[in-house]
């Protein structure tokens, strides 16, 4: 099992690429079947083309992010197979502490949620995964973590989520804020918010977060709101000027935490999301 430990020092990195995959792509599988049925001469030319493609992929990987990773010990690995499966296998074999991924993807289903490879990795892996869906829309500046926003859904996994968020904040001397978004509660007929029920729900959440902070050993500021989780988390991030949002995820489930909004949070967040 991978565990995430956040330290201020730089650690060796591993840059993984798996572009030579057929995996779960039915088109790639069909092409492979056609390849096996081709004449020997044609197969030889295809083999040569495949070798040239691999060489180009290796050259591209060797040159990728050179300026950005300058000064960091990086191992570059080119893999064959299903991209998500190979990333998960490599992470487990190497006992990595953090996976950093793009959310871009072309999967027929997952592209409506987030990148297909990222979605599969989040579904399978136990170590923290760092993603960013809208970073190209953020003004360019030197990135640093000064404020960590941690979303807790008050499930049993929240202790783990808050603990790692607190560890991360402490390691870089950043401020920590906990946020919890409850559902909106409407009165009879659904025409207005029931203030009594809302007050009780928010009060219960405040008590549970106080217990959580006591168990984790934090004294973070707390934001409790009711309504659309995705919109309100972005509002909280903007309000606190947070640099990263930490959410919980449980591998093997059909969705991430935060009451089933995990994939949507990653897709819509205006700041990087760390799923732990």
Query: Can you tell me the distance from the alpha carbon of 115 to that of 107, in angstroms, rounded to the nearest whole number?
Result: 7
User: Mean pLDDT, to the nearest integer, of 137-163?
Assistant: 86
- On whether both 245 and 168 belong to a single domain, the answer is yes
CA angle 249, 88, 8 (to 5 degrees): 65
Q: Is the pTM of this model over 0.95?
A: no
Whether 116 is in a domain gets the answer no
> How does the average pLDDT of the chain come out, rounded?
77
pLDDT in tens, 204-246: 999 999 999 999 999 999 999 988 899 999 999 999 999 999 9
Q: How many domains does the chain have?
A: 2
List CB contacts of 275: < 8 A, sequence separation 6 or more.
122, 128, 129, 130, 131, 247, 248, 249, 256, 262, 266
Share of the chain above pLDDT 70, in %: 68
Report the C-alpha gap between 177 and 166 in whole angstroms: 9
User: Are 162 and 91 contained in the same domain?
Assistant: no
Least confident of 6-10, 128-132, 190-194, 196-200: 6-10
68 and 198 housed in the same domain: no
List C-alpha distances in Å: 53 to 22, 40, 44, 59: 14, 20, 14, 10
- My answer on whether 145 and 239 are in the same domain is yes
Residue 208: per-residue pLDDT: 97
Whether residue 108 has pLDDT greater than 50: no
For residue 188, being part of any structural domain is answered with yes
Q: Which domain holds residue 212?
A: 136-275
Same domain, 85 and 194: no
pLDDT tier at 198, thresholds 50, 70, 90 = confident
Do 239 and 142 share a domain, yes or no? yes
């Amino acid at each position: 099992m991978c565990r995430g430990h956040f330290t201020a020092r730089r650690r060796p990195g591993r840059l993984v690429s798996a572009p030579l995959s057929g995996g779960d792509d039915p088109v790639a599988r069909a092409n492979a079947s056609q390849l096996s049925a081709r004449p020997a001469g044609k197969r030889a030319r295809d083999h040569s083309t495949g070798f040239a493609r691999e060489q180009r992929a290796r050259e591209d990987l060797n040159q990728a992010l050179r300026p950005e990773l300058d000064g960091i010990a990086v191992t570059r690995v080119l893999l064959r197979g299903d991209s998500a499966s190979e990333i998960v296998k490599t992470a487990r074999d190497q006992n990595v502490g953090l996976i950093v991924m793009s959310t871009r993807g072309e999967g027929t289903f997952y592209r409506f949620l987030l990148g297909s490879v990222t979605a599969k990795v989040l579904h399978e892996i136990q170590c923290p995964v760092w993603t960013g869906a809208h970073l190209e829309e953020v003004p360019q500046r030197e990135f640093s973590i000064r404020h960590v926003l941690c979303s807790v859904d008050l499930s049993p996994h929240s202790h783990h989520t808050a603990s790692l968020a607190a560890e991360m904040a402490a390691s870089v001397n950043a401020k920590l804020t906990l946020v919890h978004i409850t559902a909106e509660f409407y009165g009879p007929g659904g025409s207005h918010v029931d203030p009594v029920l809302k007050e009780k729900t928010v009060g219960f959440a405040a008590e549970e977060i106080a217990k959580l902070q006591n168990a984790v050993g934090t004294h973070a500021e707390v934001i409790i709101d009711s309504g659309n989780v995705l919109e309100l988390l972005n509002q909280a991030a903007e309000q606190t000027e947070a640099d990263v949002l930490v959410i919980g995820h449980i591998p093997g489930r059909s969705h991430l935490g935060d009451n089933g909004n995990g994939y949507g949070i990653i897709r819509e967040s205006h700041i990087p999301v760390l799923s732990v």
